[in-house]
Amino acid sequence: MNRRRFVKQSMLGMMPILFPSLFLSLLNSNENNYFIHGIASGDPTENAVIIWTHINTNSIGECKVEWQISTDKNFNSEIKKGFTITSQARDYTVKVDVTDLKKNQVYYYRFIYNNAVSDIGICKTFPDSAVKPLQIAVISCNNYEDGYFTSFQHIADNPEIDYVFHLGDYIYEYGTGQYCNKVFLEQSHRINDPLHELVSLSDYRKRYALYRKDKELQKAHQHKPFICIWDDHELANNAYKDGAKNHQSDEGNWTDRSAAAMQAYFEWMPVRAKSASEMIRSIKIGNDANFVFMEERLDGRDKQLLSNDLGKQSPDRKMISYKQFKFLSDELKNSNARWNFLVNPVMFTGYKSKKEESVKEEDWWTGYPYQRNRLIEVFQSLKNPPIILTGDHHQSHVLELYAKNQISKENFAAWEFLTPSITSKNDDRLSEEKIIKKSEMLYKLNPHMVYNNIAAHGYFILKVAQKEINIDYKFNQDILLPNSGEKNGPQFKIDNLNNLTKNV
């Protein structure tokens, strides 16, 4: 051994003793393969937050993982730490509910396993008022095989965004090539894992693991707390309590499949819930805002019917259980908040897309007219109209909701804002001429439609203040290109007198 090599190896041997922080940092940057799925935080309250990670290991035993919380990113002001155990039984995911925190406080967190240190995450507890406007990115529908997740990068890089609401379709259950942009799939080689449709617990776990390797999605989770609900594709397309359109008899028992899908979701997502019923919850920001999160797949939903089926009108048909309906109704009627929001997986208001609508399976709230009308009655009884934040539809729409579908001031019931998809297909594959023509037709057929964009991808930012709310649409310039830029869409404002205005 020559002198230079001897000195080098001696210094490496002394590094853990002389420079422990630097040593851990080097391990993290050069040799850390344990945290390849990143870190995340979610479900913040005024005094608690969930922190999450996954240990990438071939171990078949238990793993003891350290977690740390600090008020500074260098962890000189560490306020909490502890150890937790994970194992194969929970797919080596780690989830800690950190409590006794201060309201409206930014915190930094990290995990340590086998001397390897995760990236540092940023989370934030909720305030008790909206004196300083809250800014929330509202997103849904990120399909791995449809485009790059660049909008997540834009969300992470925006220092004004406090939180992220994910409204569902976080993963898609299809096999490779079954629901995708085939040109993009061939060019990008972003291929699903597993290759087949998800059915078993192992299948769902692998698909979450694939998505969580995406660097842009990782960065959004690292920098922003997520508050999430699921829609159908975390389960199977057009899911309901007893089955799904994309669940066939040769794919096993629906109860087993949906249980496997839920288990993987609770393992891999930074949510506090441990059951479908616990996904139904509310978040209150003092007297300024109340957000009610809905579950519209497993909690009572009856099977979808065709749009011309007279059975749709039955008072016994349910989109949500009677228990959830009462919870939502009570939350709205008893709320003293200036702004009430429904965080809603599927479209409530509805609209016509053609003069003569084709017969199809109705998955929207419009397919459950009796219960929908009862909710509209609740909306009309409130002092201020609620705001419905909706995912699933892949397109950007602003809709005014009227009772009995009659447009008049006395029949006005709510506003609905639909966020576009992150990548999932909409009319983006039509020619620009056809897009313009279809968009114009939608306005003519739907006088309650304030705005539509049927081909853009991205999200909107909800800004909540005491005397007004703003909705700013943000669009990805090209989801088929990596590192694509972002462009501003229209901006909407609802003022303290409940007037809606649009600024382009």
Residue with tokens 């389960």: 235
pLDDT tens per residue, range 188-242: 999 999 999 999 999 999 999 999 999 999 999 999 999 999 999 999 999 999 9
* 98-107, 349-358, 435-444, 492-501: the lowest-pLDDT one: 349-358
Q: For position 504, what pLDDT does the model report?
A: 63
Average pLDDT over residues 381-389: 97
What are the extents of the domains in the chain?
11-123, 132-503
Task: Give the pairing of strands 93-98 and 49-54.
Answer: antiparallel
Task: For residue 65, give the nearest of 89, 41, 84, 50 by alpha carbon.
Answer: 84
CB 115 within 8 A of CB 182: no
Quote the DSSP letter at residue 328: H
Cα Rg of the chain, angstroms: 24
Q: For position 32, what pLDDT does the model report?
A: 58
> Using CA atoms, how far apart are residues 113 and 52, in angstroms rounded to an integer?
13
Query: In this model, does residue 7 exceed pLDDT 70?
Result: no
Q: Between 369-380 and 322-334, two packed helices, what is the crossing angle to 10 degrees? A: 10
Give, rounded to a whole angstrom, the gap between the first and last alpha carbons of the chain: 70
Query: In this model, does residue 335 exceed pLDDT 60?
Result: yes
> Using CA atoms, how far apart are residues 231 and 246, in angstroms rounded to an integer?
14
Q: What is the pTM of this model?
A: 0.93
Q: How confident is the model at residue 23 (pLDDT cuts 50, 70, 90)?
A: very low
Cis peptide before 44 (omega within 30 of 0): no
> Which class is domain 132-503?
alpha beta
Which CATH topology does 11-123 take? Immunoglobulin-like (2.60.40)
Q: Average pLDDT of the chain?
A: 93
> Using CA atoms, how far apart are residues 258 and 252, in angstroms rounded to an integer?
11
